[in-house]
Amino acid sequence: MRKEAIYQSNKRLLQFDLLKVFACLLVIWGHTIMHMYVSDYIANPIYRFIYSFHMNLFMMISGLFASSAMKLDVKTFLIKKAQQLIYPCVVWGICVLLIINGSEVLETGLSQISVSGLLSDLYWYSDFWFLKSCFICYGLAYLGVNTKLKKWKWITITLLLSQLIPFFQIPFMYPSFLMGMQLKDSKTLMNFLMKNKYVVCVIFIIMTLFWTKEAWIGSHGMSLLKGSEAQIVDFFLLRLFRLIIGILGALSFLSLFCAIDESKMTSNIVRRLCDYGRYSLEIYIVHSVLFVDFVCRYIKFTEFNFLQFNMLIAPMISLFVLAVCCLFITIVYKSDFLSKLLFGRSL
């Protein structure tokens, strides 16, 4: 890819569309391991590898293409981002709520349904955490960009603020979002990354060797009030390790895909995959509802060994689910009414 191409706001970059499809496949692959294989998924090195960076990668890509949103007035910004990121959470949450609670009503009757239970269910069924995290990251960056502070000051302030937000993985996602913004703003930084992409990849691979089950568990939370001083220090060191490995992994795959020569991406299959890259947020939603919330409830695999399932069955299932999601979304976007109803927009 020409280094200047990413800075041309009117040019669609096939490498990034392909990268988003790859990231979607990783999400589905990870969820397949998590929900379909009867095992301790945290102990699974493939699952830990995928989850060490793949959501950071999504957030970094979001930051790369956030510059146009930063120039909007406040009202337009909030409406546009809420329509894109929050509205689908509510709509799809209601759909799942109606289906699941509708079946329960048929079995038990209305007497078993409570308002508090409905509100609780709606929260959980609409908890597409990444979309909400992305909305908050956009908001933090928007506040920073539109202050009169120098760049390093607003970056520092918003970074510190992000570490105080305990939900939707903001402490890990916002630094990746900022990194994406800085790659877009600085040709020097992007050139440095491209020249040293293999070094970044090697460092990332080495760090994954230390991303053990114990490190995973230790970085995912503890009660600071109950922990000793040593435990608190270990906790924050593991959180820092988790943040660094996420950013390095995202940078690794971003730089490798950016290095693909667009002139060689001419096959119909590659072009079709790039077309599906426009649907990354929709794929995230549809697979979460149709695959994770429903299919994974009823299908479990126990008869395959580790390598058979993780390296053969899970990738095949993931590719199939990705294809089904893309087909479903393509059909929806043929109707302006359905696309606006289900996703808040039309292509």
Is residue 273 a part of any domain in this protein?
yes
Minimum mean pLDDT range among 141-145, 208-212, 221-225: 221-225
- Give the pLDDT score at 110: 45
High-pLDDT (> 70) share of the chain, %: 85
**Are the C-beta atoms of residues 159 and 42 closer than 8 Å to each other?**
no
Is residue 290 a part of any domain in this protein?
no
Burial-class residue 50 by CB neighbours within 10 Å (0-12, 13-18, 19+): buried
Is residue 244 a part of any domain in this protein?
yes
Q: Residues 192-211: what's their mean pLDDT?
A: 94
Q: How far apart are CA 314 and CA 93, in angstroms?
A: 26
**Are the C-beta atoms of residues 335 and 347 closer than 8 Å to each other?**
no
- Give the pLDDT score at 133: 93
User: What average pLDDT is seen over the chain?
Assistant: 85
- Give the pLDDT score at 14: 86
Q: How far apart are CA 66 and CA 215, in angstroms?
A: 32
- Give the pLDDT score at 105: 44
Is residue 16 a part of any domain in this protein?
yes
**Are the C-beta atoms of residues 56 and 173 closer than 8 Å to each other?**
yes
pLDDT greater than 90 at residue 38: no
Is residue 250 a part of any domain in this protein?
yes
Is residue 170 a part of any domain in this protein?
yes
This prediction has a pTM of 0.88
pLDDT greater than 80 at residue 117: no
User: Is the four-CA dihedral 11, 16, 18, 20 of positive or negative sign?
Assistant: negative
Q: With bands split at pLDDT 50, 70 and 90, how would you rate the model's confidence at 241? A: very high
Instruction: Give residue 246's domain range.
Output: 5-22+42-281+300-312+328-343
Tally of domains in the chain: 1
- Give the pLDDT score at 148: 83
Is residue 211 a part of any domain in this protein?
yes
Is residue 288 a part of any domain in this protein?
no
